[in-house]
A and B are shown apart, each in its own frame.
Chain A
Amino acid sequence: MSQQIPLTWFLYFAAASFAIGLMGVLMRRNAIGVLMAIEIMLNAANINFIAFWRYGDVPQGEGPLTGVMMALFVITIAAAEVAVGVGLILLCYRRWRVADVDEFDTLSG
């Protein structure tokens, strides 16, 4: 049914999402906003993994699900990262009453 979509279209979508996420990381001041932009970038990488797994050949002796397993572990790490990141941001907010990344300048001398 869906054979007509070329691989490059998925890659273009992932590349555009990655660029938008990078823009968010560079532009947002709020730390939670930066975390959300990082999630966009991780999702772009996951689309690439699944697309290459579906369109390409699986290497011999590596099992039938290489890209899917990689994407699953990426999702796991991303969940752990968000939990720790939100905990850190809460800690910083409680200590300095701000959640903006350019206000955390205690170490900058």
Chain B
Amino acid sequence: MIQALFIALSAFGLLMALGTVFARNLVNAALFLVAFFFVVACQFVLLEAEFMAAIQVLIYIGAVAVLLMFGIMLTRNIQGDETTIVSRQWRLLGIGVAGSVLIVLFLGINGFKPWTDLGIRPEFPVTAETTTERGQAIIAMTPTVGREMMTRYVVPFELAGLLLTAALVGAVVLAQYDNTDEKTASAEPPQVS
């Protein structure tokens, strides 16, 4: 039952990923991408990481997909969407490289015994009081994530905050509308502003 659900979900997700790659219209591709993100969130639920599923929906669907959509809307080409896919021989090359990588990955996963033996995931008691630290983390992931963020991973946490601030400021500076861009676009020598 759960296996059939997994297969159906994965097939849908891979179809959506293919749609993202092959769709001629970029807005359609972004919508396919949203569906793929949602399928990944469902996979997280199947892996009993519901907190990660919520984060996936909030950040990827709520922020990243919307940002990409704005990017698409602001850079629509005048000549339409006919140029979003490359010519025939490059397409064949891309499919060939991706197929080779896929075959190598499948053979590697198939032939590695420690992974193929892991058919059953470790069990943890479901009751809240008689469980190990790891079982507690699976049952109540959100407080555990908060505690780990503030104790063991506090330096990466602060660094991530610094990186996000820098990225935010950098994105604003980059995308700021500036009239000197128009001047340099019309073949004048670039001027230092």
Which positions in A face B, CB cutoff 8 Å?
1-13, 15-24, 26-33, 35-37, 39-40, 43, 46-47, 50-51, 53-58, 63-65, 68-69, 71-73, 75-84, 86-91, 93-100, 102
Is the pair A91, B20 in contact by a Cβ cutoff of 8 Å? no
**Which B residues touch A58, using CB under 8 A?**
134
| Given A7-B119, A8-B115, A72-B145, CB of A50 within 8 Å of CB of B72 | no
- Interface SS of A by simple majority: helix
Which positions in B face A, CB cutoff 8 Å?
2-3, 6, 10, 13-14, 17-18, 20-21, 26, 29-30, 33, 36-37, 40, 43-44, 46-49, 51-52, 55-56, 59-60, 63-64, 67-68, 70-72, 74-75, 77, 83-86, 90-91, 93-95, 97-99, 101-102, 105-106, 109-110, 115-116, 118-123, 133-134, 136-138, 141, 144-145, 148-149, 152-153, 156, 160, 163-164, 166-168, 170-172, 174-175, 181-182, 184-185
Choose from A50, A55, A91, A98 the contact partner of B52 (Cβ within 8 Å).
A50
Min CB–CB distance A12 → chain B (angstroms) = 6
